[in-house]
Amino acid sequence: MNTLGTPLPIGAWVAQLVDLLIDRYANAFDSITLVVRHLIAGLAAGLQFLPPWLFIALVALIALSALGWRRSGAWGLALFSVLGLGLVWNLGYWGDLNKTLALVLAAEVLVLLIGVPLGILSARSRMLERVLRPVLDVMQTMPAFVYLVPAVIFFGLGLVPGVISTTIFALPPLIRLTALGIRQVPDELVEATQSFGATWWQLLLKVQIPTALPSIMAGVNQSIMLGLSMVVVSAMIGAGGLGDVVLEGITQLDVGKGFVGGLCVVILAIILDRVTQSLGRPDEGKR
């Protein structure tokens, strides 16, 4: 096929940049790997320490407290949590569910640590917002599989690159919605707070973040859902968990196994989605 002029060696440039980063910052990547590995190990150990029946009971209690004890929707979610997680336990995929949940929670911790501060700074700086906008656009439109290549190159195989790639993929919504929530805080409220001599830090913690909390929680909800969508993709680089079950079903043409693995992911996604939505909108159960 004819091309317009000489093809630009973009692939070679990217490869050279990656080699340069590996040569100069190998110790930094090793440190990040160690921190993420400890984070995953701590979360996984905590989840595995709880017996399945106790974990299911705690999830049901969280659902009731998040939506409100006296609301019918809360009891419906609690019942769904008990039946859904009980089904996962019955099917023998409890250990895989724990691994998947540890991966998603570890990625969400990193997303929160990076996304909320960047969102706040983006809301306060138009220049930073203009710089971040095209970067976030690229991150959101880039196919999920593309994130696996640099993650494997920099961090090897296993859970760590799975968490890193999931973090990058799930980060943009939280940054955008945090910035949106901070910008939507009424100017009158900000001016009134400043007139009483509040510092920037007091204004942020006592006025802006509480007022923007529904928008921030919407970002948390979206980032968790995106993290769960990366479960199967991350399994391709050895992340394990329920993604492995689905991947085995695909590679072995085992429709039943693939369906069961996907069903377990859906159950976990529904519970996390409803709980995080209710935390961001405490009056939801009244409807």
Q: What is the pLDDT of residues 4-36, one digit of tens each?
A: 667 777 777 777 887 788 888 778 888 888 888
Residue 5 lies in a domain: no
- Tokens 């970067």, residue located: 135
- Tokens 């079950």, residue located: 245
Whether the per-residue pLDDT at 283 is higher than 80: the answer is no
Residue 202 lies in a domain: yes
What's the pLDDT band for 143 if we cut at 50, 70, 90? confident
Residue 33 lies in a domain: yes
Whether the per-residue pLDDT at 68 is higher than 80: the answer is no
Angle at the Cα of 277 from the Cα atoms of 275 and 278, rounded to 5 degrees: 65
What's the pLDDT band for 286 if we cut at 50, 70, 90? very low
Amino acid (one-letter) located at 130: R
The average pLDDT across 145-153 equals: 80
Residue 1 lies in a domain: no
Structure tokens at 30: 């090793």
Residue 61 lies in a domain: yes
Helices (H) and strands (E) in the chain, counts: 14, 0
Can you give the CATH number for the domain in which 81 is found?
A: 1.10.3720.10
Residue 76 lies in a domain: yes
Higher pLDDT, 97 or 148: 97
Residue 3 lies in a domain: no
Which pLDDT belongs to residue 116? 92
Which pLDDT belongs to residue 88? 92
* pLDDT tens, residue by residue, 227-237: 888 877 888 88
Contact 135, 262 (CB under 8 A): no
Amino acid (one-letter) located at 114: I
Quote the distance between the C-alpha of residue 42 and its chain's center: 17
Within 10 angstroms of residue 250's Cβ, the number of other Cβ atoms is 14
What's the pLDDT band for 281 if we cut at 50, 70, 90? low
Task: Spell out the SS3 assignment of 47-67.
Answer: HHHCCHHHHHHHHHHHHHHHH
Contact 59, 85 (CB under 8 A): yes
CA dihedral 226, 263, 241, 29 (to 10 degrees): -10
Residue 232 lies in a domain: yes
Whether the per-residue pLDDT at 111 is higher than 90: the answer is yes
If you average pLDDT over every residue of the chain, what do you get? 84
Domain count, the chain: 1
The average pLDDT across 187-192 equals: 82
Whether the per-residue pLDDT at 217 is higher than 70: the answer is yes
What's the pLDDT band for 57 if we cut at 50, 70, 90? very high
Which residues, 6 or more positions from 27, have their beta carbon under 8 angstroms from its beta carbon? none
Region of poorest pLDDT, from 70-74, 182-186, 270-274 = 70-74
Domain coverage including residue 180 = 12-286
